[in-house]
Amino acid sequence: MKPVDRPFRIACIGEVMIELIARDGNAAELNVAGDTYNTAAYLKRTAPELDVEYVTVLGKDRFSDRIVRDMEARGIGITAVARHPTRMPGLYAIETDAAGERSFAYWRSSSAARTLFDEDGRDPADVLASHDLVLLSGISLAILSSSARDRLRGALEGFRANGGLLAFDSNYRPHLWNDLELARAETERFWQCTDIALPSADDEMVLFGDADATDVIARLRSWGISRGALKCGNAGPVDLGPEGHALNVPAAENVVDTTAAGDSFNAGYLAATTAGRSSIRAMKAGHVLALKVIGKRGAIVDVG
C-alpha cells in the first residue's frame, strides 16, 4: 500500500472546533478538537512518516488562527484549509462524569466548516487528487450541504477509480441530522463506496435499527464492505474481513474520559494498515492507542 517514492498521503475531511473542557468551579480549559481532526493528530503522532493533511474551512478570526497554529504544531498539512471571510469555527463544551462518560453542548450551526465544498468553494476532486487515502466521518457528512455531499460523492468515484482509498466512520450524531431517513440514506450511500470501514456498533445500531453487532456486520457486507473493523466498546473490535475475527481484549482499567476513543482507534488502525500490517495487528494497534487516550482527560492527549 505504501508508495515507494514518497510518503503515504492521507486527507482527513471535516470540522475542527474550539473545545472547552469544564473544570472545577468556573474554570475551563481551551483546546482544539473534532472527530476527524483528532484522528489526524493521532495519525501524525503515531506515524510521523505519514503525510497527513486536513481539509476544512475556517474563518479569518483569532480562534481560526489558533486552530491553524495547532495544525502546524502537530505537523498536519494546511494546504487544503480554506478561510471564510465572515464565518468562524464551531465551539463545543464538554463535561465528564465519574465514569468518564461525556456530555456535550455545541455552538456550530453557522460554522465556517459548513461551507466546505459549496459551489463557490474548492472542487473536492482537486482536493483529493494528490492523496492516497481519504478519511471521512458521518459528522463530516452531516455538516455539509446536500449539494456539497453530492459533489464529494462524485469526486470519490474518480478518486477510487484512480487507486485512492476511502476510510469511513459513520459516527452518527442525531442532533446534526434532524432527519433520520436522510441520515440513513446518506450514510448508506457513502458506505457503498468505502474501502476501509471503521464504524462503531452502537452508532450503527441506533441509526439502522440493527439488533446486535452480528446484524451490523451482515448489513455492511451486503453493501460491499469487506475490510475494516467494527468497534464494539468493551467487547473489543471485530474484523470486517471475510473471516470476521474478533479481538479479545481486557476491559479498560483506567477510564478518565472516553472522548476520542473511536477517533484514536481509527488512527492506530490506519497507521498500521498503511504500514502493511494485517487487520488483526491493526485492530490491536488501534485498541492499544485508544486505551492510552481514555486514560487521560481531553480529545487530544499525550500518549507518549
Distances (CA, A) of 165 to 9, 10, 70, 73, 202: 11, 9, 27, 27, 25
Q: How confident is the model at residue 5 (pLDDT cuts 50, 70, 90)?
A: confident
Distances (CA, A) of 256 to 22, 95, 283, 304: 14, 11, 22, 17
Q: What is the mean pLDDT of residues 228-256?
A: 87
Grid cell digits, residue 279: 487487520
pLDDT tens-digit series, residues 164-180: 999 999 999 999 998 99
CATH number of 9-294: 3.40.1190.20
pLDDT tens-digit series, residues 121-132: 789 999 999 999
Q: Is the pLDDT of residue 192 over 90?
A: yes
pTM: 0.93
- Between CA 2 and CA 1, with CA 136 as vertex, the angle to 5 degrees is 10
pLDDT tens-digit series, residues 28-45: 889 999 999 999 999 999
Over pLDDT 90: what percentage of the chain? 75
Q: How confident is the model at residue 196 (pLDDT cuts 50, 70, 90)?
A: very high
Please report where in the chains the cell 471535516 appears, as a residue. 14
Catalytic residue annotation: 263
Grid cell digits, residue 217: 456486520
pLDDT of residue 142: 96
